[in-house]
């Protein structure tokens, strides 16, 4: 009994660093973070059973309203569009190609119209000299036309497969290979028609952020852009966590913990309202490093990345990750190299075009690929144009 009493006296008094560390951890991870983060979608504390369905329905409702607003905007836009975006100059500094196909499900959301309305707004915001030219690539090859693309023909340059190409493509190859061939067509056609200095290729459900062109311009001004095959402008938020096999994220995670721990321990001599007895020792530095690392991961790396939107120079560039190609920047003539690489591969389920491009960048000597964080687009496509859809899509 005296042994336990001695233990409590030595370690569980408030003046003991062990007691302070234990109390701080319990209060932070069991009280403060759960209360603050239980409604944050990408936090470990998110209560899926309580909030996921209602949040998903809210997002679908907002997207449907934006889609209807975009439909009314374009239906009434003919006299308001000046200058016309269909007048694309040769050799533009940046060409944005939006790849679109008809959606059998979710047609009322009008994703393409939402994206093009946003582009019309932010391109106009660049001033008299447009910051980019915008091209629409309609790859619909089914018996029904893409009505949203047809509506936009009065405002944007639209390119399509020839009737013979449509007939040859329809129904003879699997969905993933057809998607790849359509993507290659858009890459090559955009280059052949306008010879842009740089190209961005977006899928028709990639809604650009307001700072899209400002950040793209800054990325192209950086030295690494001259020697990269592509720069990904989007990675799914649910896959942005620190606990990840990507080495750079682990280094970022440890670095964040060390910086936070050092800053806090250096502050204590000057401001210490709770009378903590921590000092800048190895053991205390290790504890607070792990403390900040755990707090950052449980809160959600996605929310920490959002702070980088303060300035284009703060956007992080890192080695590319493998998933997803809704928004890709191809500096220089890299789009032609990507088209050639894709042509040399046959896509099937499990080896779609995003995986092919990623593997090419990793295995071909001299090629590099990068990702930018945070995302420059919002992926609004709850209903896919090529894959099976649930009756009511969920955010996770």
Express each pLDDT in 2-16 by its tens digit: 565 555 555 567 678
Q: Where do the structural domains in the chain lie, given as residue ranges?
A: 57-239+307-379
Helices (H), 110-146: 111-124
335: how many CB neighbours lie within 10 A of its CB? Answer: 27
In the predicted structure, residue 83 carries a pLDDT above the cut 60? no
User: Exposed, middle or buried: residue 289 (CB in 10 Å: 0-12, 13-18, 19+)?
Assistant: buried
Report how far residue 238's alpha carbon sits from residue 31's, in angstroms, rounded to the nearest whole number: 24
Report how far residue 255's alpha carbon sits from residue 247's, in angstroms, rounded to the nearest whole number: 12
pLDDT (0 to 100) of residue 124 = 80
In the predicted structure, residue 79 carries a pLDDT above the cut 90? no
pLDDT (0 to 100) of residue 85 = 77
218: how many CB neighbours lie within 10 A of its CB? Answer: 17
pLDDT (0 to 100) of residue 274 = 79
In the predicted structure, residue 136 carries a pLDDT above the cut 90? yes
CATH of 57-239+307-379, picked from 3.40.50.2300, 3.40.47.10, 3.90.550.10, 3.40.190.10, is 3.90.550.10
In the predicted structure, residue 163 carries a pLDDT above the cut 70? yes
Q: Which tens digits make up the pLDDT trace of 302-354?
A: 999 999 999 999 999 999 988 889 999 999 999 999 999 999 999 998 899 99
User: Exposed, middle or buried: residue 96 (CB in 10 Å: 0-12, 13-18, 19+)?
Assistant: buried
pLDDT (0 to 100) of residue 14 = 66
Give yes or no for a contact between 211 and 309, defined as CB atoms under 8 angstroms apart.
yes
Average pLDDT over residues 29-56: 97
CA atoms within 13 A on the CB side of 343: 11
pTM of the full structure: 0.92
pLDDT (0 to 100) of residue 146 = 93
In the predicted structure, residue 72 carries a pLDDT above the cut 70? yes
Selected residue with higher pLDDT from 244 and 188 = 188
User: Among 94-108, 211-225, 305-319, 382-396, where is mean pLDDT lowest?
Assistant: 382-396
Give residue 81's pLDDT band: very low, low, confident or very high (50, 70, 90): low
pLDDT (0 to 100) of residue 251 = 93
Report how far residue 379's alpha carbon sits from residue 392's, in angstroms, rounded to the nearest whole number: 17
Rg (CA), the chain: 25
In the predicted structure, residue 381 carries a pLDDT above the cut 70? yes
Give yes or no for a contact between 46 and 38, defined as CB atoms under 8 angstroms apart.
yes
In the predicted structure, residue 77 carries a pLDDT above the cut 90? no
User: Among 41-50, 57-66, 240-249, 309-318, where is mean pLDDT lowest?
Assistant: 240-249
According to DSSP, residue 32 is labeled: I
Report how far residue 268's alpha carbon sits from residue 291's, in angstroms, rounded to the nearest whole number: 16
pLDDT (0 to 100) of residue 273 = 81
- Check residue 324 and give left, alpha or beta (phi > 0: left; psi -120 to 50: alpha): left
Give yes or no for a contact between 240 and 230, defined as CB atoms under 8 angstroms apart.
no
Average pLDDT over residues 211-232: 94
Q: Which tens digits make up the pLDDT trace of 257-267?
A: 999 999 999 99
Give residue 93's pLDDT band: very low, low, confident or very high (50, 70, 90): very high
pLDDT (0 to 100) of residue 9 = 55
In the predicted structure, residue 199 carries a pLDDT above the cut 80? yes
Report how far residue 67's alpha carbon sits from residue 205's, in angstroms, rounded to the nearest whole number: 11
pLDDT (0 to 100) of residue 123 = 86
In the predicted structure, residue 43 carries a pLDDT above the cut 90? yes
Give residue 275's pLDDT band: very low, low, confident or very high (50, 70, 90): confident
Give residue 385's pLDDT band: very low, low, confident or very high (50, 70, 90): confident
In the predicted structure, residue 119 carries a pLDDT above the cut 80? yes
pLDDT (0 to 100) of residue 87 = 81
Q: What share of the chain in percent tops pLDDT 70?
A: 92
């Amino acid at each position: 009994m005296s042994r336990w009493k001695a233990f409590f006296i030595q370690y569980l008094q408030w003046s003991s660093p062990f007691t302070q560390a234990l109390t701080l951890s319990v209060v932070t991870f069991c009280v403060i973070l759960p209360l603050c983060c239980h409604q944050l979608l990408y936090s470990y504390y998110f209560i899926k059973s309580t909030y996921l369905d209602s949040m998903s329905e809210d997002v679908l409702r907002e997207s449907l309203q934006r889609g209807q607003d975009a439909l009314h905007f374009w239906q009434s836009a003919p006299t308001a569009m000046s200058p016309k975006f269909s007048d694309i100059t040769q050799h533009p500094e940046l060409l944005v190609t939006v790849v679109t196909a008809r959606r059998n499900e979710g047609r009322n959301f009008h994703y393409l119209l939402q994206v093009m309305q946003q582009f019309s707004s932010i391109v106009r915001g660049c001033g008299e000299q447009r910051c980019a030219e915008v091209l629409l690539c309609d790859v619909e090859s089914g018996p029904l036309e893409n009505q949203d693309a047809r509506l936009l023909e009065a405002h944007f340059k639209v390119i399509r497969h020839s009737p013979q190409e449509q007939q040859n493509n329809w129904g003879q190859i699997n969905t993933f290979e057809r998607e790849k061939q359509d993507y290659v067509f858009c890459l090559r056609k955009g280059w052949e028609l306008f010879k842009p200095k740089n190209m961005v290729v977006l899928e028709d459900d990639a809604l650009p952020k307001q700072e899209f062109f400002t950040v793209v311009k800054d990325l192209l001004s950086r030295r690494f852009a001259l020697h990269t095959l592509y720069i990904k402008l989007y990675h799914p938020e649910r896959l942005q966590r620190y606990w990840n096999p990507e080495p750079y994220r682990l280094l970022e995670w440890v670095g964040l913990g060390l910086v936070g721990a050092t800053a806090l321990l250096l502050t204590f001599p000057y401001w210490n309202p709770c009378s903590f007895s921590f000092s800048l020792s190895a053991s205390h530095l290790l504890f607070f490093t792990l403390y900040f690392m755990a707090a950052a991961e449980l809160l959600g790396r996605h929310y920490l990345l959002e702070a980088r939107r303060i300035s284009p120079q703060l956007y992080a560039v890192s080695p590319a990750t493998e998933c997803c190609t809704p928004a890709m920047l191809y500096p220089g003539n890299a789009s032609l190299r990507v088209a050639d690489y894709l042509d040399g591969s046959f896509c099937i389920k499990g080896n779609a075009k995003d995986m092919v491009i990623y593997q090419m960048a990793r295995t071909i000597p001299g090629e590099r690929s990068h990702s930018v964080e945070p995302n420059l687009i919002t992926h609004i496509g709850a209903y896919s144009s090529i894959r099976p859809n649930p009756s009511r899509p969920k955010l996770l």
